[in-house]
Structure formats: structure tokens, C-alpha cells
Amino acid sequence: MSNPANLPNNLKYTASHEWVKTEADGTISIGITQHAQELLGDMVFVESPMVGRKLKAKEECAVVESVKAAADIYAPVNGAVVAVNSELDSTPEAINADPYAAWMFKMKPDNAADVAALMDAKAYQAVVDSEAH
Amino acid sequence: MVDFGGWDMPVNYGSQIDEHYQVRNDCGMFDVSHMRVVDIKGNGARSFLRFLLANNVDKLTLPGKALYSCMLLENGGVIDDLIVYFMNEGWFRIVVNAGTADKDIAWMKQQATQHAPQLNIADHPELAMIAVQGPNARAKVWDALPGSQELTKRLVPFSAVEMGAMFIARTGYTGEDGFEVMIPAKAAPYFWATLAGKGVRPIGLGARDTLRLEAGMNLYGQDMDETINPLEAGLTWTVDLKSERDFIGKAALLANPPTRKLVGLVLLDRGVLRGHQQVHTAQGMGEITSGSFSPTLNQSIALARVPKEVQIGDQVQVSIRDKMLAAKVVKYPFARNGRGLI
């Protein structure tokens, strides 16, 4: 299934299968991993958080729904929502097509060190492997 | 893979939505070997089934003809829904759901002990079943099974014919034309591979569910079960209350007129309807029994049990997480034969 080579090394990851990318302006983009989209299947609906909302790490803040099931998306760190990708409203299948390009929302983290402390690709791969038995 | 009544079954082979369209637009095949075949043989099979089933087997006069029916408890609750095929006066074939098969057979045998002890009731777990469904399904089966075209080209919908050790029925669970082929399990892999060689794509449980939901077909355990009677599950059309005939559950159905009914919902707001979501209507609360995303309509649809006063065209509210979303009450099916009907 998920091949280590598929996990971009420039991203951070969470145990709940979000990826986190630090942008040049210090904000972070959040999406779901290849592994998560494979499990969920064809995406049909994305519910994004409100811009401006303050989030705590591991707080439920968004939802993706595939034909099969709904899944919660969790804030990777403390911070505020600064943007949402409204293109996914009409094209949720972009998450299936290219999960690492289909960012769902952006946050301004309270503390950049929190982002640095998230899992790297190798640690996340171990999480995925452990779920596969 | 998921566990489904003790069977490991694939939810999807690839994209579930692609599989759905494949069946609506061309054809696909489903391994439905989990469905159980039960043969009722002997003198008096018809009169026993007349008493056992809520629908009236007297509607079956031509050999091979099939009838959809519920089998009820005395209190009117649905033990299972099934298809019964009339082959001859000494042989009726019943196909039941996987998860309920053992209790169904126990119930049939218990009833037969009391009312028709001469009957032989035997299930056939050694029969596999492959459903080939879609506008091109029959042609693909004809191509894969030499001799089948001659035998089945005049087979009317909802009827079946034997072909050697196989049993070919023009039935299904998708709202499309096609066949359900019962075949000895040891021959099934070869038949499956032959169909695959003719370009027939495998379809998983996920698309099977969206196809049947669009077609407005009930799923046992979701849309009805032993606590629900067929009159409150959209199955009034399958219950014969007009004839003099008595059947198990009839007295309870007559004594308890339905207060709820099954309707279709189409979600007007963005989101996805799912089973067990609460439905708020002007006449009281209801609940979604089956909900999903409809690829054909490109919006979310559901079956919901609501107070019987709710009317087609009414707007209702559905609780989804922390929101109340607007939905419209519609007449179902939502889609049949490749086309949306809403």
C-alpha cells in the first residue's frame, strides 16, 4: 500500500493522518495524507473551519466525507485559522488525486517550535506500518 | 476488506464512484456468494409459503417466476427480506441474506414442523452467486457462457431458468438489467475469470450500496429489522392484505396501522446524509435509515422513516454533527436504468 517513497520529506505529520507544511511566511498548510485518502476513498464533501477560529492542538476542526464515511480533521498545533481552500468545496476529489497538493486550511501557529516537534516522514511511516497490522 | 456476515468482502476494488458508474453505464460483476440459497421441496410447498411469507406466492404461476417478499414474526417484525422463485409445484427456491440465513432457516424449519412436516427444507452454501449488472450485462454473460443466450434471451425480468448445475435469474440489486447466476462454488472462479476476460469489471460492496440506495431498494438491518414492520419500511407493496389468505404477522399488521413511513430525502445543503441522523419534520421526529452520496444525482440522498403525515415535497431539517441542514422529501427510487429520476 503506502510506500515510504510517497511521503514527502519536507512535511510534518500527525498520528491522526494530517500533513503539515510550513510556508515561507511562517503559516502552516494542513491536509490529509495519502494513507488517509486511500482508507477513506472517493471524497465528496469537505467542511472547513472558519477563518479566524482559534484552535488547540488535537481539536476537531474540519471534516472530510467520502462516499464511505466521515472523518474528523484535527488541528496539529495551537494557533488560528488564517485561510481555507474553498476550491475543495466544488472539487473534493482533488484530495484523492493529489493529497499533498490539496491543502484544506492554513493556520498561524502560536509557537513555531510546536510544528518542529511534529513527526517527520520516517516517524509517520512507522505509524502507518503499525496500523497495517 | 470488511467482515460482512462472516464473509471477507471488498468495499471497493478501485474508485467506488467509478465502480458505480461502470454498472450504471456498462456493466460490472459482484461476488454475492454470501447470499444463501434455500430450496423448499415436496408436496404442499405452495400452501406452506402462502402462510410463511407476507407477499402472496399465488402471484407465481409461470415456472421460473420470482417474487420479492418479507418473512415476518407473529408481531409483524421483519425476520428477513428474500426472493422466492417458483420452479414447479414441488420446488420453490428462496434466496436470503447472509447475516440472517441461519435464523431464517431455523424459522422455516420450525414453521414447517408445525404446518408442513412433509417438506424438505435444505440450504445450499455450496452454491456461489455472481451478479452481473448493467445495460450490457446480459450480453456479457451470453458471451461468457456458451448456450446461455438461447436459454435466457426471452427470460422476462424477475424470472429464472436452470442451465445444468447453474441457475440464471434476471434479478439484481442495482436498478439495472442483468443476471444473478448461482453456480457451484468450485466452478465460480472460472466463471468469474471468464467474465473478467470479457472485460467485465469487479464491483465492491460500497458501490453495491450506493446502487441499491439510488434504486430505492431496502437493506435488511438498516431500513428494516425485527423491530420494524414492512408497512413502516416502504414495503406495503410487497404485503398482500387483500386476499382471504392468512399468513404469519397478518393479524399484527391489521391490528396496528402504521404511524410512520419510509420516504426519500435529497439534501439541499452541502454535506452527506448518513444512517441514524435525526430528521426534524413539522409532524415530529424521524430518522435516516440509509444515507450516502448519489453519484448519479451528484448530491446526497437518503431513505428516512418519518411520521406518516409528512408529504412528498415537504422541507425537513437533518441534524448533522452540530448543524441543521435542509433536505427535501421526495418519492424514490432516485435512479434506475442509468438515469436520475429526481
B12 chain-A contacts, CB cut-off 8 A: 41, 68
A91: closest CA of chain B, how far (Å): 12
Q: Give the Cα separation of A33 and B191 in Å (integer).
A: 38
Whether the pTM exceeds 0.90: the reply is yes
A114: closest CA of chain B, how far (Å): 29
Least CB-CB distance to A67: which of B210, B270, B321? B210
pLDDT above 50 (res B15) = yes
| A11-22 tens-digit pLDDT | 999 999 999 999
Number of C-beta neighbours around residue B113 at 10 A: 11
pLDDT above 60 (res B48) = yes
B136: closest CA of chain A, how far (Å): 25
A69: closest CA of chain B, how far (Å): 9
A94 chain-B contacts, CB cut-off 8 A: none
pLDDT at B320: 95
pLDDT at B169: 98
Q: Give the Cα separation of B271 and A26 in Å (integer).
A: 32
Query: B170, B182 in Cβ contact below 8 A?
Result: no
pLDDT above 80 (res B91) = yes
Residues of chain B with CATH 2.40.30.110: 259-342
Q: Give the Cα separation of B305 and A55 in Å (integer).
A: 38
| B186-208 tens-digit pLDDT | 999 999 999 999 999 999 999 99
- Mean pLDDT, chain B, rounded, equals 97
- CATH number for the region A8-125 comes to 2.40.50.100
Confidence of residue B234 (pLDDT cuts 50, 70, 90): very high
pLDDT at A63: 96
Range B175-193 average pLDDT: 98
B270 chain-A contacts, CB cut-off 8 A: 45, 47, 89
The residues with which A32 forms a beta bridge, in sequence order, are A18
pLDDT above 60 (res A2) = no
A125 alpha carbon, distance to own chain's centre: 15
B292 chain-A contacts, CB cut-off 8 A: 67
Confidence of residue A133 (pLDDT cuts 50, 70, 90): low
pLDDT at A5: 53
Tracing cell 476550491 back to the chain, one arrives at A87
Is the Cβ of A51 closer than 8 Å to some Cβ of chain B? no
| A68-89 tens-digit pLDDT | 999 999 999 999 999 999 999 9
Contacting residues for B215 by C-beta, under 8 A, at least 6 apart: B173, B174, B175, B333, B334, B335, B336
Do B292 and A89 lie within an 8 Å CB cutoff?
no
| A20-71 tens-digit pLDDT | 999 999 999 999 999 999 999 999 999 999 999 999 999 999 999 999 999 9
The residues with which B37 forms a beta bridge, in sequence order, are B95
Residues of chain B with CATH 3.30.1360.120: 2-212
Is the Cβ of A98 closer than 8 Å to some Cβ of chain B? no
Confidence of residue A1 (pLDDT cuts 50, 70, 90): very low
Do B17 and A67 lie within an 8 Å CB cutoff?
yes
Closest alpha carbon to B50 in B92, B21, B11: B92
Share of chain B above pLDDT 90, in %: 97
Range B37-49 average pLDDT: 98
pLDDT above 80 (res B229) = yes
Domain extents for chain A?
8-125
pLDDT at B294: 97
Query: A38, A2 in Cβ contact below 8 A?
Result: yes
DSSP, collapsed to helix, strand or coil, labels residue B14 as: coil
Q: Give the Cα separation of A115 and A93 in Å (integer).
A: 27
pLDDT at B262: 98
- B157 burial level (CB within 10 Å; 0-12, 13-18, 19+): exposed
Is the Cβ of B322 closer than 8 Å to some Cβ of chain A? no
Closest alpha carbon to B186 in B125, B123, B124, B128: B128
The residue of chain A nearest to residue B209, with distances taken between CA atoms, is A68
Fold observed for domain B2-212: Gyrase A; domain 2 (3.30.1360)
Query: B318, B325 in Cβ contact below 8 A?
Result: yes
Fold observed for domain B259-342: Elongation Factor Tu (Ef-tu); domain 3 (2.40.30)
A122: closest CA of chain B, how far (Å): 27
